[in-house]
Chain A
């Protein structure tokens, strides 16, 4: 269920915590397993992470369902995580999200037909200074406009 490579990565996180506190690595472990699994966490994935970290499945599920970082439905290769909290909202995030939806022909939470892109509304990512903003992978894109979004999205492969 979890590849050896992922296990190694998880072990590196487990090593950062005191012995017997391996469950502290649950957030990173879920992230690692999700990355291996087409950007999605299934019930079995969550159970596998819980088993690997010797914690109850429900405890891992609580974390996995609390944070927006984890997806529980199939996602595109790239997930555009669009902030819709107050600063971004005041700076027009809602219109930009609507534009993105029209452009890609998807609703938030869905995957584009070619399987390349998904859009997800998320809570504040701590980049209010550059609102409106979104995140793709590990990269933040700030001070977004329609033109800028088109350019970024068209460049996705």
Chain B
């Protein structure tokens, strides 16, 4: 710590830190355009010039390191004169089109111009004009307004990890633009809108909608992944009009993924359910809430309760639901004497489940020196977790990926590509080498195994690392050896003193686990329910063709003549209409209060930013009233916070699980790994049109090797399970990796 003087005021600062960081901390205003706290320093805009005593010229605060005894003036005549001069230059080519510019009202240039700009321009020559370019469905460009701060360029190369924007030409001809005709494709691209200090990059879906001062900004939490990025929903007259990122260094720093930023568009989709509906003699009728609830309660009573047959009732929910909703639903089912409940709808075989702890904090991920990613394409599936790992890699960490396909990480990763049935044996090889190195007893099941060269390398790096993490992802969810793979990772971590991160179930899966939204030993899991003789189902936010692994069995189980189905949904769906008897319209994301539990086990609560459209209600309220009408005790909640406090008072129970390990490569069949494209992972996203139009949203390929294609008698141009095939040698044989924006195709999956 040294002492410096800023505008006559004594301030403590670290030697070497940049002056602008100190002034920001002390609340002293220094204007700037190119400086951004999370980006490298370019010192190109010169707006932050200040007067440093002893320096011959004004110095840019963003690139002037602190030294002991410095005396700085940010407001004296010299500083002001320099800032005004810079402002005049910046405005030479800037069009004064603020009235039609979307940035107007939240524009850093506009704000600074008010204070430092002159009211009359001395520039009478022609201004520069830049032809518009289309860089995709998410970002609107008006590059005539660009002031060349290069924040978007630096964001691309430093944070997004792919340099897509760049400065071409020079001098007056300098243009910021992407090189590729396909425009900007990064999964984090929307942050360029936030960092752009002017109206050059603005939100395309929000174009010409509103002024920033017309909207309320309401703090909220994104619910599409395991991070729960902090953000602001900006609302106007009861509608979410735009989403911008919030600041939380322990969660999402200051970035949010495009998925979190643009999903709100789905809220206004025409398929939203606005009124409760009941099916009378095969005909759907919109009715009052009382009628619908009464109908639901009567149906449940007739089908199960009156005959004291709660074992024939099943409760299924999507993991996107809030913790409170899941808690109320399980409480209601259990009060009815029903133990049949599940959220793991996309798991093929629930005898093979993944039990793996997440015991490293998000913020600590960037400090690891070795990461092994198993079965995940992190960039698309968990963008903010990937961002932390990228930071670790840039700081020198070694990265390994054990996948069925070489995925496009935005940092160097050494890929080990194996077929699905070799993942377990590869990890077993790692475990054997670790145990050997620690001179520990080799268990029976490893005795005859010869670790592969890759496994040996992984073990050596793991043992040499100070802090390693092993990450298990979604692609392993339906592996025939899923539980063994998870158990192997637990063992490896235990013996090598590493951390583990379980990203195999996403959204609010941890909330569902916290409230025990899984059957106890007496109940049935989802797949059991689909195969049993059930009499009634209660469904929370379930979209059958995307959510279930066994889509066909699910549809036939739900569509049976004598099965009474109450379905809570936010969007209309043809299949739901076919099998349901009552459809209750529920509030979607941003329309309900609730809590999301993220990978750090952090409970992040949010309030409703807007109320739901039409007659739709928050699901926790619907469930509460349903429970009241069923005359169940203990549902006297006035708000969701009371529900949460009940959840918080419940102790977390460690689940017993099968820790056995079986590494026999027991199948030679071709395995299909079906992943929805990242913008298809929940109902709101599926209705967000701009995301769907983006390159990631359009992803629809079934990747396989030539050998696999030959075995399946497929050739280029063919489809596999309805998905166009992509023959590549950057993946393993014996498997097909589908990344699709279509509904799950059960052809080869059920």
Contact = CB atoms under 8 A, between A and B. Distances in A.
Contacts of B164: 56, 58
Interface string B227-258: 00000000000000000000000000000000
Given A56-B179, A57-B179, A57-B180, A62 B162 contact: no
A86 interface: no
28 contacts: A43-B179, A46-B179, A47-B179, A56-B157, A56-B162, A56-B163, A56-B164, A56-B166, A56-B179, A57-B179, A58-B164, A58-B166, A58-B168, A58-B178, A58-B179, A59-B163, A59-B166, A61-B166, A61-B168, A61-B179, A62-B166, A62-B167, A62-B168, A65-B168, A65-B169, A65-B170, A66-B168, A66-B169
A58 B156 CA distance: 11
A52 to B, nearest CB: 15
A58 B169 contact: no
B165 interface: yes
A72 to B, nearest CB: 10
Residue of A43, A47, A58, A61 contacting most chain B CB atoms (<10 Å): A58
Contacts, number: 33
A58 B164 CA distance: 6
Interface residues of B, number: 13
B163 A58 contact: yes
A57 B165 CA distance: 10
A65 B168 CA distance: 6
Interface string B159-177: 0001111111110000000
A24 B491 CA distance: 45
Contacts of A43: 179
Residue of B166, B167, B169, B170 contacting most chain A CB atoms (<10 Å): B166
Contacts of A62: 166-168
A61 B168 CA distance: 7
Contacts of B167: 62
Interface string B520-549: 000000000000000000000000000000
A56 B164 CA distance: 8
A70 B36 CA distance: 33
B170 A66 contact: yes
Interface string A49-84: 000000011110110011000000000000000000
A46 B178 CA distance: 13
Contacts of A58: 163-166, 168, 178-180
A111 B182 CA distance: 31
A93 B513 CA distance: 79
A62 B170 CA distance: 9
A139 B528 CA distance: 83
Interface of B: 157, 162-170, 178-180
A58 B178 CA distance: 7
Contacts of A61: 166, 168, 179
A139 B163 CA distance: 37
A115 to B, nearest CB: 27
Contacts of B162: 56
Contacts of A65: 168-170
Nearest to B153: A58
Nearest to A62: B166
Given A58-B165, A58-B168, A62-B168, 10 more contacts: A56-B162, A56-B166, A56-B179, A57-B179, A58-B163, A58-B178, A58-B179, A59-B166, A66-B169, A66-B170
Nearest to A55: B163
B745 to A, nearest CB: 35
Contacts of A59: 163, 166
Contacts of A56: 157, 162-164, 166, 179
Nearest to A46: B179
A66 B163 CA distance: 17
A65 B169 CA distance: 5
B329 to A, nearest CB: 48
A46 to B, nearest CB: 8
Contacts of B178: 58
A152 to B, nearest CB: 29
A47 B180 CA distance: 9
Contacts of A66: 168-170
A61 B170 CA distance: 12
B51 to A, nearest CB: 33
Interface in A22-46: 43, 46
B695 to A, nearest CB: 16
A66 B164 CA distance: 17
A6 to B, nearest CB: 21
B261 to A, nearest CB: 23
A58 B179 CA distance: 5
B176 to A, nearest CB: 10
Contacts of B163: 56, 58-59
A77 B163 CA distance: 35
A43 B170 CA distance: 18
What 9 pairs between A and B have smallest CB-CB spacing?
Answer: A58-B166, A58-B179, A56-B163, A65-B168, A57-B179, A61-B179, A62-B166, A66-B170, A65-B169
A57 B168 CA distance: 11
A125 B489 CA distance: 63
A46 B181 CA distance: 14
Nearest to B178: A58
Nearest to A67: B170
Nearest to B165: A58
A58 B165 CA distance: 7
Nearest to B164: A58
Nearest to B177: A58
Nearest to B175: A65
Contacts of B179: 43, 46-47, 56-58, 61
A111 B166 CA distance: 30
A62 B180 CA distance: 13
